Amino acid sequence: MSGVSTAVRDIRRPLLVPHSIQLTRGTARRHVMPLIRFPLQEETVQSSLVSVPGGVPRRRRSPATLATGSALMLIAVLVAVFGRPGPASAAGTSPCDIYASGGTPCVAAHSTVRALYGSYTGKLYQVRRSSDNATRDIGALTAGGAADAAAQDSFCAGTSCVITWVYDQSGHGNNLGYQGPGGVGGSDTAANATSESLTVGGNRAYSLYINPRNSYWRDGHTTGVPTGSAPEGMYMVTSGTHVNGGCCFDYGNSETTRKADGPGAMDAINFSTQCWFGGCSGNGPWVQADLEWGLYSGGSQSWNPNQRAFTSKFVTATLKNNGTTRFAIKGSNAQSGSLTTLYAGSLPGGYNPMKKQGAIILGSGGDCCNGNTNLSAGTFYEGAMVSGYPSDQTESAVQANITAAGYR
């Protein structure tokens, strides 16, 4: 915006006041900007906003009128800029608002910690207590806010609770149920609801703390999850302090059959210490891509020298795949800093095109857990899957939102 400021260098310094102009374009989400008022000309500026479409009569203008005209010019420039919504320009937005403004809307959005849309006021997850098998939906404290941990505490007081469902905030109905009796079927169990607490933005919340025999799944192939060679992207916030080398702590696109159906049947983030093809450098944990029949650190079975371990308490992991030629994986500390591109290039041989089936997996591999059990451990705080191939700008804006959320 540096080019704008020079237009007002001869005008008295503007004041930003709590009033705002809401700018919309088509069906895009609103961008809110402060209304700029200039001392001594406040009402003139506001009334002139109405007269702009009709023009201003030609006449000799007073200094106040010239200042007003300059103010209008400034506002017009700002409107022109904000009228083209970019991923990072909307105030008070959340990850799925950012993805939508970048042209890659969320088709699934999951978190036990916070809302992933700035306007979301619905339920985040469900807990079930052992004393009577009653269930309780846990929602957000405010629109776009943190989870209501106090509601869980009250409901689970004096007994134990598990997390049975993680609800989809995107509106597509892609709710994740645990892979066991009473859930979506299978051989696993639901995760303990109180294994780990944290704060986000100063509000206490609980993570989805996955241990072996815990996993979640959804068949989303008819409810918006990309299939075949359609492009998609995803991210999750996880932890570098609760990991293992068991197969396979994943979040993303998986088989509807819950079987290992061949190369390209999966497209999921893996975060673990697994060194699938050997030759790994260090001990991890690493952000890799589970594309089925292998965890890929880069574009081949050879170890990617650009890989690095992420051992911080909170970690952001991203994956995007255009389905036909290329994919990219990135990682970062979720409390500060920008994303590191670990790989961006061609798909491995045999994975072009992708053959995604459109289920969603969380906490396990794709051939789990119907007849077998999950062996992995990991922590899930939030994540989303999107339709389309997100731009680097969009992913950077999502990372900025995550660091601003205040994970502690």
| Residue 137 in this model has a pLDDT that exceeds 90 | yes
Assign 153 to helix, strand or coil.
helix
| Residue 143 in this model has a pLDDT that exceeds 80 | yes
What is the residue-wise DSSP string for 289-331?
EE-SS-EESSSSSS--TT-----SSSEEEEEEE-SSSEEEEEE
- Separation between Cα atoms, residue 152 and residue 129, nearest integer Å: 10
- Separation between Cα atoms, residue 140 and residue 108, nearest integer Å: 17
What is the H or E stretch that residue 149 is in?
helix 149-156
Query: Which distant-in-sequence residues (6+ apart) come within 8 Å of 228 by Cβ?
Result: 323, 353, 354, 355, 356
Domains of the chain by start residue, with CATH? 2-82 (no CATH), 95-405 (2.60.120.200)
State percent of the chain over pLDDT 70.
Answer: 77
State the pLDDT confidence band at 198, using cuts at 50, 70 and 90: very high
* pTM metric for this prediction: 0.79
- Separation between Cα atoms, residue 397 and residue 127, nearest integer Å: 32
- Residue 370 has a pLDDT of 86
Q: Which residues are catalytic?
A: 292, 367
- Pairing, β 250-254 against β 359-362: antiparallel
Q: How confident is the model over 47-80, as pLDDT tens digits?
A: 333 333 333 333 444 444 434 444 444 434 333 3
- Separation between Cα atoms, residue 46 and residue 306, nearest integer Å: 55
| Residue 6 in this model has a pLDDT that exceeds 90 | no
> Once rounded to an integer, what is the mean pLDDT over residues 109-130?
99
- Residue 99 has a pLDDT of 98
- Residue 220 has a pLDDT of 98
